[in-house]
Chain A
Amino acid sequence: GAVVSQHPSWVICKSGTSVKIECRSLDFQATTMFWYRQFPKQSLMLMATSNEGSKATYEQGVEKDKFLINHASLTLSTLTVTSAHPEDSSFYICSARGASSEQYFGPGTRLTVT
């Protein structure tokens, strides 16, 4: 149980374009989903918390107009990186929380902006 999927697993895009990443909880309903970013050899950095049916809560320093989050259902949240630039290249990972306090991570999406 507690399986979380992400799509795509990797993406290469050109500078200035937008990329959408999907996060799905496959076998449970996720009341809350989280989006993280991880740069090489660094720990996870929480970007935003997403609750179904409400606006996402962004961490300090994360631009909400650049990283658009939608949590339209209890099993799906999306992160759209708008007008991507090379410095946005990173490993983006979502996690989902159900009824318990435990968070389960998706496999991650590696974004490369050229």
Chain B
Amino acid sequence: QKEVEQNSGPLSVPEGAIASLNCTYSDRGSQSFFWYRQYSGKSPELIMSIYSNGDKEDGRFTAQLNKASQYVSLLIRDSQPSDSATYLCAVKDPGGGNKLTFGTGTQLKVEL
């Protein structure tokens, strides 16, 4: 059973701070990782994809991947109240079929 684990939160950070969201996965063969943002009542929105070890930056978002530790994280710099949402970590099934396994998500609250 492939698993993707996230702390459900809520994670509360003050406006302007860095929010750090973490995710671990069980299948060592996984190669493709994604972060989605989901506002309440809405569908997920792709924020970042990462495939190689290290950091990948896009605006205020940085994804970090460590395949040896089976760990992927998302950093949000200068957090804004509009960043308040649930962040879903997704891992692509390495066995083919292009399926994603989602974590249960971490709820982020950015407070004024």
**Residue ranges of A at the interface with B (Cβ–Cβ < 8 Å):** 2, 32, 34, 42-44, 46, 49, 57, 91, 93, 97, 101-108
Contact = CB atoms under 8 A, between A and B. Distances in A.
B98 A42 contact: no
Interface of B: 32, 34, 36, 42-46, 49, 51, 88, 90, 92, 97-100, 102-105
B44 A44 contact: yes
B99 A49 contact: yes
A42 B88 CA distance: 11
B49 A105 contact: no
Contact of A102 (B46, B103, B104): B46
Main SS at interface, chain A? strand
Contacts of A49: 97-99
B52 to A, nearest CB: 13
A71 to B, nearest CB: 14
Nearest to A110: B41
| 9 closest A-B pairs by CB | A108-B43, A105-B43, A43-B104, A93-B43, A101-B32, A44-B102, A105-B44, A43-B102, A107-B43
B42 A107 contact: yes
A44 B43 CA distance: 10
Contacts of A91: 43
* Residue with the highest number of chain A CB atoms closer than 10 Å, among B51, B88, B100, B104: B100
A102 B42 contact: no
